[in-house]
Amino acid sequence: MELFKHKNNLFVKSRRLLLVYMLVCFLSGAGAAFAESGFPVSASAESVERPETAKAAVMTEVLTVSSSGGQKTACLLDGKTSTKLSLPAETILDITVTQDQVISGLYLIWDRPPGQWALSWGGEDEEIWGNQGYLHEYVSFKEGINSLRIRLMESSALLCEIYAFGPGLLPEWVQIWQPPHKRADLLLLPTHADDEHLFFGGTMPYYVGELGLKVQVAYLTNHWGEPYRPHELLNGLWIVGIEHYPIIGPYTDYPSRSLDHARSLYDAEEMVDYQIGLLRRFRPLVVIGHDIGGEYGHGVHMLNTDTLRLALEASGDPEAAAESAGLYGLWDVPKTYLHLYPENQLQMDWDRPLSRFGGATAFEMAQKGFACHFSQQKWYSVRKTGVHDCRSFGLYRSHRGPDLNGGDFMEGLAPYPVARFPYEDLKLPRFDLKRYGSAGIGNYFSLGSLREEAARRFASV
């Protein structure tokens, strides 16, 4: 009888140890996934090393893409955004992998915003995508599949790349964009793609990456005539911590060496209304704009700031830009800083190590962001000197009085509240122990599932 009790106790203890082991495996993986996703996680979970086997496989070698129009689709799998496939409206792309593989995520790189497109798999009804106008668009699947179908709808499109991923932790270069903020703590107004790094320096990596504030980027011009530059733009933003999609302006990029010349290229009154609309839509606590002199004398930089100054005075006027007033209401920006502004000066410290980026400084991250702009490396660089000094700003306009301490765009302001991510409220997708293994369970619930589910359920306010 005693021997039976002893064996029974051993059996109970063994079961408990097994359960504890499985729970530790799950939590260590989930904690690592949360740390990678940017969600808050305990220090003990952050220190757990993710197993190599949990990383998602890029499935190019086992992927087959066929087009209903008979086009050759090899360019969609060559890893180059410079090669692209023209797809007429109603074109169908069938995507399959070999039977022993499953697709957990699909990443599409478009040349231009594609309009609406439909996605279906496994006999399910079509899901409509493309509503946000993303060039880089990621779709996650809670259940692994091995074939799916894309159907363009009413618009033709140019598609550059298709990537498919197996289960696991996605590579950092996969961009899972969220919609633009509804409210912004800081609104950055660069003129061109790359200005956000060159002249605003460490603003993005510090305020959104390190502090987690709501930073919205809104460009004045677009680069649709240089199709490589929108990809550089998105890649540069993603690497410095921006996850909410930028506003890409309606104005074609033209070279200009004076304010008067720039005014001859654009409708300045329309541009003022456009900027009023941005101020009212995002209701920023802080606006950051270009040097009045256009840094190195670029006329469109000058025009951007010239129209911004007018927009700042008019955004609280119900008689100005009636359409945006009806859509968003009125707004008077509390604080505005301009690059190199000579009054109420402040020097930003972009040399502090940032834990969000493994100890890299905000200045170093600005350099990494600009490094994504391959086409601009010949002419420019992120600097701390002269008219390119990305640390030097001045308080141009304030309803909160002068800055007393300096060195912080948010001095005297309380950020908008952030919708916290409640782990216990999130229903995780089912896992297959045979397929993923106990060590990889938590990592399966990574960017491809957690962030997508969080974005749907806990939209920014």
The residues pairing with 87 across neighbouring beta strands, listed in sequence order, are 157
389 contacts: CB under 8 Å, gap ≥ 6: 340, 383
pLDDT confidence of residue 231: 98
Burial of 75 (0-12, 13-18, 19+ CB in 10 A): middle
pLDDT confidence of residue 442: 34
Cβ(163)–Cβ(58) under 8 Å?
yes
pLDDT confidence of residue 98: 86
Q: What is the pLDDT along the chain (461 residues), one digit of tens a residue?
A: 444 444 445 444 444 444 444 444 444 444 333 333 333 322 232 333 333 436 788 888 899 999 999 999 999 999 999 999 999 999 999 999 987 889 999 999 999 999 999 999 987 789 999 999 999 999 998 877 999 999 999 899 999 999 999 998 999 999 999 999 999 999 999 999 999 999 999 999 999 999 999 999 999 999 999 999 999 999 999 999 999 999 999 999 999 999 999 999 999 999 999 999 999 999 999 999 999 999 999 999 999 999 999 999 999 999 999 999 999 999 999 999 999 999 999 999 999 999 999 999 999 999 999 999 999 999 999 999 999 999 999 999 999 999 999 999 999 999 999 865 443 344 333 333 333 333 333 333 333 344 444 444 444 44
Which of 417, 19, 392 is closest to 213 using CA atoms?
417
Delineate the domains of the chain, giving CATH numbers in brackets.
15-53+420-461 (no CATH), 57-166 (2.60.120.260), 186-398 (3.40.50.10320)
Q: From the CB of residue 379, how many other CB atoms can be counted at a distance below 10 Å?
A: 7
For residue 203, CA distances in Å to 339, 341, 391, 436, 459 come to: 12, 16, 9, 40, 24
Dihedral (C-alpha) 374, 186, 461, 116: value to the nearest 10 degrees? -30
Instruction: Kindly provide the b/e burial profile for residues 392-424, where b requires at least 16 CB atoms within 10 angstroms of the residue's own CB.
Output: bbbbbbbeeeebeeeeebebbeebbeeeebeee
pLDDT confidence of residue 425: 43
Both tokens assigned to 303: 């025009």
Q: Long-range contact list for 373-379, CB < 8 A, 24+ apart?
A: 373/193, 373/194, 373/197, 373/229, 373/232, 373/233, 373/236, 374/228, 374/232, 375/226, 375/228, 375/229, 375/232, 376/194, 376/232
pTM for this entry: 0.81
pLDDT confidence of residue 459: 46
pLDDT confidence of residue 54: 61
pLDDT confidence of residue 418: 83
